[in-house]
Amino acid sequence: MRLILLGPPGSGKGTQAQRLVHRHGIVQLSTGEMLRAAAAAGTAVGLQAKEIMANGGLVPDEVVVGIIADRIEEPDAKKGFILDGFPRTVPQAEALDELLRKKHLKLDAVVELRVNESALLARVEKRAEETRARGEEVRLDDTPEVLTKRLAQYRSLTEPLIHYYSERRKLLTVDGMMTIEHVTREINRILTALGALEPKEHEEPKIASKASRTAKKTAKTATRKAAESAKKPAKPARKAARVASKPVSKAKAAKKTTKKAAKQPAKKTVKKTAKKAAKQAARAANARKGAKAAKKAAKKLTKKRAKR
C-alpha cells in the first residue's frame, strides 16, 4: 500500500499516518526526516542535500526525489509507505509519478483530510487561551496568526495538487472534522473498498466500519431469501404428490366399497327372512290367543244358558 496524505496544519494528518503505520505495518516517510537521515548516512544525495541546507537554501525537487528513491528501496518500505510532506507542488507530483513508473510501483491513493478552517482557528485560539490560563507560554507556531499564514500557504500549494490527483482518479476526500476514531474508520473503509487493504482478521467489533456491518447484514438477508426461494418449489411438488396419490386412494376406497356391497345382499336377505318369520310367528301366537279367548267365552255362555 502506497499513500499520500494531504491536509492543512491541524487536520490530524500526522495522527492518521501513525495509525496506518501501526495498523498495517507500513512506514511513514517524512521528507525532513529523510533529508536529515540521508545527510547523516553520507549518501551522495544526502551530502548534496546537507550542503544546500547548511547554506540555508531550499533542497531542489530532484534531490528530494533522489532521497525518496533510495529510501523506498529499503526493506521496511517494501510492504508500503505513506508520504508526509511530499509532494507539495504539481512538479513534485509529476516527478514522483515518474519515479514510481521507473520502479514499477503504483500509488494506491491520495487521501485528503478536508477541514473547516474557521473551526481550526477557533480550536487554536481556545488552546492558546487554556495554555495562558495555566500560566504556560504559548508556542510561537501554535497561534491563530501563524496558523492563518500556514493555511494560506497550504491552499496556494495544495489546491493544484487536489485537481492533479482528482483528474487521475487517485483523490479520496475524508471529513477531517469527525472524531479521530471516525476518520480512521473512514480511511480504512475506502482503502479496503479500493483493494489497497485486506480486511484485518479477528478485527475488534468497535473498529469494524458501519459499511462492513451493513454488508454482512445484506449477505445474511440474501442468503435467507435464497433459502426461502429454494423451499418454495417444494410446495407445488408436495401438492402434486398429493394429487397424484388421490386416484390411488379413491381406487382403494372403491375396492373396499365393492367388497362391502358384495356382502350386503346376503345379509339383507337373512334379515328380511328372519323378520318375516317373526311376524308370522307373532300372527300365529295372536291367533291361538284369540281362539282360546273365544273358546272360553263360549263356555261361559253355555253355562249361563244351562242355569236358566
Does the annotation count 139 as an active-site position? yes
Across the beta sheet with 81-84, the strand order is 27-30, 81-84, 2-6, 109-114, 171-175
Active-site residue, from 19, 114, 150, 189: 150
Q: Is 292 part of a structural domain of the chain?
A: no
Instruction: Examine residue 193 and state whether it is found in any structural domain, yes or no.
Output: yes
Residue 150 falls in the annotated catalytic set? yes
Residue 2 annotated as catalytic: no
> What's the pLDDT score for residue 208?
43
Which among 36, 114, 123, 127 is annotated as catalytic? 127
**Helix, strand, coil % over all residues of the chain, rounded to 5:** 70, 10, 25
Tell me the residue length of the chain: 308
Cα–Cα–Cα angle for 72, 78, 82, nearest 5°?
Answer: 60
Q: What percent of the chain has pLDDT over 70?
A: 63
For 146, residues 6+ apart whose C-beta sits below 8 A from its C-beta are 140
Q: Does residue 200 lie in a domain region? A: yes
CB 161 within 8 A of CB 93: yes
132, 139, 155, 200: the catalytic one is 139
| Higher-scoring residue by pLDDT: 274, 49 | 49
| pLDDT tens-digit readout, 192-202 | 988 766 555 43
Out of 88, 114, 123, 189, pick the active-site residue.
88
Q: What is the Rg, in whole angstroms, of the alpha carbon atoms belonging to the chain? A: 52
Domain annotation covers residue 150: yes
12 DSSP 8-state letter: S
CATH code: domain of residue 26:
3.40.50.300
pLDDT digits (tens, 9 = 90+) for 196-229: 665 554 344 344 445 556 656 666 676 676 666 6
Per-residue pLDDT, averaged over 20-48, amounts to 85
Range 92-110 burial, b when 16+ CB lie within 10 A, else e: bbebbeeebeeeeeebbbb
pLDDT digits (tens, 9 = 90+) for 107-151: 999 999 999 988 888 888 888 888 889 988 887 777 888 888 888
Per-residue pLDDT, 61: 85
Domain extent at residue 173: 2-226
pTM for the full predicted model:
0.57
253 in any annotated domain: no
The answer to the question of residue 183 being in a domain is yes
The DSSP string of 163-222 is: HHHHHTT-EEEEETTS-HHHHHHHHHHHHHHHTSSPPPTT--TTTS-HHHHHHHHHHHHH
* Residue 251 belongs to some domain of the structure: no
Please report whether residue 234 resides in a domain. no
13 given a catalytic annotation: yes
Task: Over range 276-283, report the average pLDDT.
Answer: 67
* Residues facing 70 on adjacent strands: none
Three cell numbers written together for 190: 475506502
Q: How many domains does the chain have?
A: 1
